[in-house]
Chains A and B, each alone.
Chain A
C-alpha cells in the first residue's frame, strides 16, 4: 500500500489510562490488552490478596475474530498524498484504546471486565432474587 502522510496541526489529550496509547508516527503492529475485575462493596473493605482471573470464564473464553485474509483483490488510488486535520481534542483515552496519527498495518485491542457487587443485607427487592 502506498503510504499517505497524516498531517495534524494540534493535538490536546487530557488523560490516558489502562493499556492505552497515543501513537504519533507510523507503526507496524499494535496490541493492547486490559483485564479488570471490578468489585464494589457496600462498605469500604479491601482484602489485599484477592482476585484470580483464571476463576472466571469471562477472562478465559477465546474470542473468535472474522478471518483476516479474504479472497478479494483491492486496488488503492491515492489522489492526494495526505490526510489533514487541524485540531484533535480528546478528553480521555482509557482501557486498551488508541489514538493513532499515521499509518499502521495491524491493530488488535482486547478488553475484558467482570463486575461483582457485594451487599451486606438484601432489601426487599433484592432478597426476592436470592
Chain B
C-alpha cells in the first residue's frame, strides 16, 4: 500500500486559542511522529478524612 499525501496551499487567518494544556501540541508545520500521554488519577481512596498528616514523606 502506498499512502499518498498531496499538500496544497494552507492559508489561515487567525488562530485564537484559549489554553494548550496537559501534554497538548499546536503545530504549525510538519512532523514525523507525535506521542502524547496524560495520566490523571483521582481515585476514591485519595479522599483522606482525619487529622492532617504529611502525604508520603520524603526519605
Q: How far is the CA of A55 from the CA of B14 in the complex (A)?
A: 45
Most chain A Cβ neighbours within 10 Å, of B7, B17, B28: B28
Contact A97 B44 (CB under 8 A): no
Q: Which residues of chain B come closer than 8 Å to A91, judged between CB atoms?
A: 17-19
Question: Known: A107-B33, A109-B36. Contact between A47 and B48, CB under 8 A?
Answer: no
Which residues of B, 22-59, contact A by the 8 Å Cβ criterion?
A: 22-42, 44, 46-52, 54-59
Contact residues in A for B22 (Cβ distance below 8 Å) = 94-97, 111
Contact partner of B20 (CB less than 8 A), chosen from A52, A58, A86, A97, is: A97
The answer on a CB contact under 8 Å between A103 and B31 is yes
Contacting pair A88 B15 (CB below 8 A): yes
Q: What is the predominant secondary structure among interface residues of chain B facing chain A?
A: strand
Across the A-B interface, how many residue pairs have beta carbons closer than 8 Å?
A: 230
Complex CA–CA separation, A74 to B6 (angstroms): 11
Closest A residue to B7 using CB positions: A78
Q: Count the A residues whose beta carbon is within 8 Å of the partner chain — how many? A: 80
Interface residues of A (CB under 8 A from B): 1, 3-4, 6, 8, 20, 26, 32, 34, 37, 39, 41, 43, 45, 47, 49-52, 55-56, 58, 61, 63, 65, 68, 72-80, 82-122, 126-127, 129-130
Residues of B at the A interface (CB closer than 8 Å) are 1-42, 44, 46-52, 54-59
